[in-house]
A and B are shown apart, each in its own frame.
Chain A
Amino acid sequence: MSKGFTPSPATPGVITANDLRMGRCVWMRDGKWTADPREAELFEDEAIAELALLDATSQAHLVVGPYLVEAKRGADGRPEPAHFREAFRRSGPTHRHFKQAEFEASNV
């Protein structure tokens, strides 16, 4: 899925990881990390994405396991997940009885 993914204008990507201290999912924007996936930077250029991933990897004091993964550009121009795994990372657990509101409050 993310392995070997090369972004392009037709198939843009985002860089995501887990926060080192808390473990929660984070996304990269302008070299920094946000817990809001809608704020993630969409990469359409392979070279720029590679440089950003190098930057992400160098921030091992902040995040664990950064990777570049395909995303879609939504109608509002913001990134949306292209694969169900990324959709679940973004939404939190999907099953009944999970306190989704609590997840969203803690993650944004």
Chain B
Amino acid sequence: MFDARPQHNDQHREYLRHRTQQFRRQVERRLDGSLTEEEFRPLRLKNGVYLQLHSYMYRVAIPYGALTPDQMRMLGHVAERWDRGYGHFTTRTNIQFHWHKLVDIPDSMEALNSVGIHSIQTSGNTIRNVNADAFAGAAADELEDPRPWAELIRIWSTDHAEFQFLPRKFKIAITGASSDRAVTRAHDIGLRMIRRGAETGFEVIVGGGLGRTPMIGPVIRDFLPAADLLPYLEAIVATYNLLGRRDNKYKARIKITVHENGIERVRDLVEARFAELRAEFDSTATHAELARIRAHFIPPSLRKDDPAPYYAARAADPAFRAWADTNLHPHRNPDHAIVTLSLKAPGATPGDATSEQMRVIADMAEIHGYGEIRISHEQNVILPHVPLADLPAMHGVLRRHGLATANVGLVSDIIACPGMDYCALATARSIPVAQDIALHFEALKLEHDIGPLKIKISGCINACGHHHVGHIGILGLDRAGVETYQITLGGDGTEEATLGERTGPGFAYDQIVPAIDRILRTYLDLRTGREETFLTAYRRLGAAPFKAALYDQERADAA
């Protein structure tokens, strides 16, 4: 079982106990008037507690998206005991509880601590939750499991004294596979494991990001020996800490630092600092720490069950076959599969899971999946190792609990931030737009005909819904008191990272589904065949036919 990660050790438990006691006292002092809201706000944010539109929101980190069954059950318990029976998984692979009461949060926090999870550094200008490939340790195209490195980064960055007041928040992503499923080029730091000769190292990307100024990050080091990772990361963040702007929060992210100073200058400064830090870092201790961490990431001993039941179910059950065709990904062991449990049933809220679903997921991971659960940045749940032979039985259980929607990578598998249904920063709604698009194409039965497609929706310019890297991106804005949606096309969050191009004027709330419909009908009309995906067709055709479809109809309607 995968329940002995380093964060479960006694020292970590004591640290969490202390932090939660500290927060409990801070809440008490706010309630008795000893702390003003101005004093309390940064303290609650340090613990992932936001005040949103209707309630407090409590954001909990899921380090590199990995959960044990016990942890998943505890999330379900917290949702039921202190929230409204559901939680929302985010693009940072955190979970957000949208209905916590301030007075309950210390108890909720303590319950989460009992299984080793917490909310530290899920807000504030600190290094946030590290993202990793959700298929880590299982993918057929993987060079090395990145999770031990992600855990090393987590330990290094948690409560790092020098990096508690950075110019702005700081996000790191890591992948060990050739396919980039962690959006590394749109992070403050992206790490891609590569090999040079016999040596494993990292391609280091810096200064990517989405938000109001989207940028694909340039490479700062084309090969960093793996052993140098921590001093090099420290050199980057230390350089940014001094060089990053603090006069304007909209220009404070490292992408602006890199843009304004140039990658060459930033590289020179980082390398100079790295030379100093490399000598200071105790590489022997780091190596020992990594070895200790790796002991907790030993691959499961995979069963050798006859996969005949899988092939029999494929032949006999069209629903199972459809699910297997969309929701399974090749495992490095051909008798196993990586299974994606879609949290995107048409009409459902993308990324939401009920307490009951969380318990079912935990059970399925225990019974069929060697106790491993991942949350993907695409707001789905991954069981990374499932024997093919177990899939028919598991599929039956998932169906009964609304977890077997066969839509992964299709039009209804939409990323959507909470938007103005919850978020105080939002300028428009996201969730109902996602629901309406999914239901529209479900009714038309066009989803499988359209094929691979990534629609991503953000309810404000901060881009939590990653709209810039959606094949179709939708950005909700407030234009003179009216919800208005801008469309971008051609974005891509993979290793071929591309920012989408804006099509033109935005669409009203009740016009966004018809607009998406026109885009996709144009694609269906113009593609060379089913094998040409939307993104490939867009790259071949350019924006012109899609713009014509979007706006000629608008003009005709207006005439």
Contact = CB atoms under 8 A, between A and B. Distances in A.
A71 to B, nearest CB: 13
Interface size class of B (residues with CB under 8 A): 20 to 34
A1 B422 CA distance: 18
Nearest to A84: B483
A24 B54 contact: yes
B31 A21 contact: yes
B420 A88 contact: yes
B420 A23 contact: no
Interface in B78-131: 84, 100-103
Contact of B432 (A83, A84, A94, A107): A94
B552 interface: no
B100 A93 contact: no
Contacts of A20: 30-31, 37, 102
Given A21-B31, A23-B100, A93 B421 contact: yes
Contact of B481 (A61, A83, A97): A83
Contacts of B420: 84-85, 88
Interface string B338-349: 000000000111
Contact of A65 (B31, B51, B102): B51
Interface size class of A (residues with CB under 8 A): 20 to 34
Given A84-B481, A95-B421, A96-B432, A21 B102 contact: yes
B458 interface: no
Contacts of B431: 93, 95
B441 interface: no
A60 interface: yes
Given A85-B420, A97-B347, A64 B54 contact: no
A76 interface: no
Contact of B37 (A60, A84, A85): A60
Contacts, number: 81
User: Interface residues of B: mostly helix, strand, loop or mixed?
Assistant: mixed
B36 interface: yes
B541 interface: no
B223 interface: no
Interface string A77-100: 000001111001100111111110
A23 B10 CA distance: 34
A94 B421 contact: yes
B158 to A, nearest CB: 27
Nearest to B32: A61
B529 interface: no
A23 B421 contact: no
Contacts of B55: 18, 22-24
B429 interface: yes
Contacts of B100: 23
| Among A1, A21, A65, A95: residue with most chain B CB under 10 A | A95
B53 interface: yes
Contacts of A18: 51, 55
A23 B51 contact: yes
Contact of B53 (A1, A61, A89, A96): A89
A99 B86 CA distance: 11
A89 B431 CA distance: 16
A92 B100 CA distance: 15
Given A21-B101, A21-B102, A95 B349 contact: yes
Contacts of A15: none
A103 B85 CA distance: 13
A97 B54 contact: no
A23 B435 contact: no
B51 A89 contact: no
Given A83-B481, A96-B347, A23 B56 contact: yes
B334 interface: no
B33 interface: yes
A84 B431 CA distance: 15
Contacts of B478: 84-85
A93 B459 CA distance: 14
Interface of B: 30-31, 33, 36-37, 51-56, 84, 100-103, 347-349, 352, 420-422, 429, 431-432, 435, 478, 481-483
7 residue pairs, one from A and one from B, having the closest CB atoms: A93-B421, A23-B55, A23-B56, A95-B431, A95-B432, A22-B101, A61-B33
28 contacts: A1-B481, A18-B55, A20-B31, A20-B102, A22-B102, A23-B54, A23-B56, A24-B54, A25-B53, A64-B37, A65-B37, A84-B481, A84-B482, A84-B483, A85-B53, A85-B478, A88-B53, A88-B429, A94-B429, A95-B349, A95-B429, A95-B432, A96-B348, A96-B349, A96-B435, A97-B347, A97-B349, A99-B84
